[in-house]
Amino acid sequence: MSADTEVETKICNFLRRNGKSKAFVISKQCGLDKRIVNKHLYSLEKSNQLFKCTEQPPIWDLVENMNKLKLTPEPKQKSQTTTETSGEKDVEKLLTRSGGLKAYEIAKNLGQSRQSINKQLYSMEEKGKVKKCSQSKLWRLNDEWSDESFSQESSSSCPSDHGLDSVPGLSNSFDVIAKLGEGGFGWVYKVKHKIDEKIYAVKRVILTRSASAAEPPENNRIDGLDSNQSRTCLFIQMEFCEGGTLTNWIKARNFMEKQRTIVEIHKIFYEIITGVEYIHANELIHRDLKPDNILFGADGKVKIGDFGLVAAQTDQNGDPMERSNRGTPTYMSPEQKNKKHYDEKTDIFPLGLVWFEMIWKISTLSERMKLWTDLRDRRFPEGFSDSYRTESKFIMKMLSYSPEHRPHAKDIKEKLEKFFSLHQNLLSQKTV
């Protein structure tokens, strides 16, 4: 059996067992790269073994299932109109300038509806013009960025055309080892300093208007042009945390079945809340707290990173400030998504989600998607409140819709010390 036939058999067997599904769910459950899955889904559609619904992203099913239910596949989309073609050109121009954006950012920049932009993006993806990075949800042009450049499956070596090793003033100082990940505005690389031979993390940001507005206040910065000499980039040198991210820690619990004790969970969360208390005590708001931005040092100590969206709690007169709704949508508080004014309590909401995620095992992506909406609305899965009574009460308050009903970081820390016998001597250094 050829490799292609084996992949297609695996896809068909999955759909036969589980019914209709989306490409990213199939790829996750079958342990396959999403690009490979998409390629074979369209191949199977051409051979009349699969059909797709016209939803975006498409939902796929077996033709044999359709026949059993006496259904007919929905008609395929007609060829693009001149207006649609023109719209795709606008998207291409925007992605060329920015390097990569999320769908809602594209819609906002072009003054179009999210639904219309999604339709154009998935049409362009089928044609091979663009691709979507599975972890960051950023859309990029295929003719400008190679598939290998933005693979989220591993920390692959960084190709020379990424620009890090060709920027004057930077290539003389660092050797690029690997790409660690990417976010809303840029990419993070593991590098080795050529003089002190220490390992650092360097964040590379393409300075679009939105990225410039969120430019982080860190000192170790180098400005320059990327390898195409057409875009201004910002490079931020940061400490490299050998212990990885909380995301890795959670995955080890969920997918590798590495057991974590509740005592260990409480200790780690205590360090996280201590770091956030320190941020708030300095009259700042982080605004992007999530497992990707919580790291572990070589000594196992928790460190909070990525201050790209950090903001002051008030203006110089002590008055509330008008704010943007930037952040990570799945972790953003309701007011950060919907309001122009909010305070440091906005950081407490994502911490409630993070604490739950550390405690409760989530085995599949589809399970997470179903669970997350309920969780944001303070509805816990069956058994959680019974198994973790004290934790559930804490998290329930932290996920309050109104920020005034959420506790301060300092209050949470004090309650953790009281209820779980945690003490300040757990921390020998700041966790920021």
Is the pLDDT confidence value at 155 over 60? Answer: no
Q: How far apart are CA 121 and CA 119, in angstroms?
A: 6
Q: How far apart are CA 376 and CA 398, in angstroms?
A: 10
Q: Minimal CA–CA distance to 239: which of 193, 291, 286, 183?
A: 193
- What pLDDT shows up at residue 277? 95
What is the average pLDDT across 419-427? 62
This prediction has a pTM of 0.55
User: Same topology for domains 3-68 and 86-146, yes or no?
Assistant: yes
Q: Strand pairing of 130-132 and 186-193?
A: unpaired
Q: Into which CATH architecture does domain 155-239 fall?
A: 2-Layer Sandwich (3.30)
Tokens of residue 74, six digits: 């929905």
Non-local (6+) Cβ contacts of 231 within 8 A are 97, 99, 206, 207, 225
CATH class of 3-68: mainly alpha
- In angstroms, the Cα distances linking 188 to 202, 205, 305, 360 are 6, 9, 12, 29
- What pLDDT shows up at residue 266? 92
Maximum average pLDDT range among 89-93, 236-240, 274-278: 274-278
* Helical axes 348-359 vs 409-420, angle rounded to 10°: 30
Enzyme catalytic residues: 288
Is the pLDDT confidence value at 368 over 90? Answer: no
Q: Out of 24-38, 75-89, 160-174, 299-313, pick the least confident.
A: 160-174
Task: Return the higher-pLDDT residue of 140 and 151.
Answer: 140
Q: Which 8-state DSSP code applies to residue 48? A: T
Task: Return the higher-pLDDT residue of 365 and 183.
Answer: 365
Handedness of CA 288, 174, 230, 215 (dihedral sign): positive
What is the average pLDDT across 250-263? 75
Query: Residue ranges per domain, the chain?
Result: 3-68, 86-146, 155-239, 246-426
What is the share, in percent, of the chain residues with pLDDT greater than 70? 71
Q: How far apart are CA 224 and CA 234, in angstroms?
A: 7
- What pLDDT shows up at residue 355? 96
- In angstroms, the Cα distances linking 280 to 310, 311, 317, 347, 398 are 11, 10, 18, 9, 16
pLDDT in tens, 319-347: 667 676 777 888 999 988 877 778 899 99
- What pLDDT shows up at residue 244? 83
What is the average pLDDT across 179-185? 64
CATH T-level fold of 246-426: Transferase(Phosphotransferase); domain 1 (1.10.510)
What is the average pLDDT across 154-164? 36
Q: Into which CATH architecture does domain 86-146 fall?
A: Orthogonal Bundle (1.10)
Half-sphere exposure of 281 (CA within 13 A, CB side): 11
> pLDDT-derived band of residue 290, with 50, 70 and 90 as boundaries?
very high
Q: How far apart are CA 238 and CA 384, in angstroms?
A: 38
Q: What secondary structure does DSSP assign to 182-249, as a single string?
A: E-SSEEEEEEEETTT--EEEEEEEE--HHHHHT----S-EEEEE-TTSSSEEEEEEEE--TT-BHHHH
- What pLDDT shows up at residue 184? 53
Q: Out of 147-161, 184-198, 238-252, pick the least confident.
A: 147-161
> pLDDT-derived band of residue 408, with 50, 70 and 90 as boundaries?
very high
Non-local (6+) Cβ contacts of 202 within 8 A are 164, 174, 188, 189, 191, 235, 236, 237, 238
Task: Return the higher-pLDDT residue of 310 and 207.
Answer: 310
Would you give the distance in Å from CA 384 to the centre of its chain? 25
Q: What secondary structure does DSSP assign to 347-391, as a single string?
A: GHHHHHHHHHHHHS----HHHHHHHHHHHHTT-PPTTHHHHSHHH
What is the average pLDDT across 260-268? 87
Task: Return the higher-pLDDT residue of 221 and 129.
Answer: 129
- What pLDDT shows up at residue 142? 63
- What pLDDT shows up at residue 145? 34
Tokens of residue 14, six digits: 């999955």
Q: Out of 160-164, 181-185, 204-208, 353-357, pick the least confident.
A: 160-164
Would you give the distance in Å from CA 346 to the centre of its chain? 18
pLDDT in tens, 61-117: 887 766 554 444 445 444 444 555 667 888 887 776 666 788 888 887 787 888 889
- What pLDDT shows up at residue 83? 57
Do the Cβ atoms of 91 and 106 come closer than 8 Å?
yes
What is the average pLDDT across 46-51? 82
What is the average pLDDT across 183-202? 77
Maximum average pLDDT range among 10-19, 196-205, 344-353: 344-353
Q: What is the helix (H) or strand (E) element at residue 3, kind and residue range?
A: helix 3-18
Is the pLDDT confidence value at 396 over 80? Answer: yes
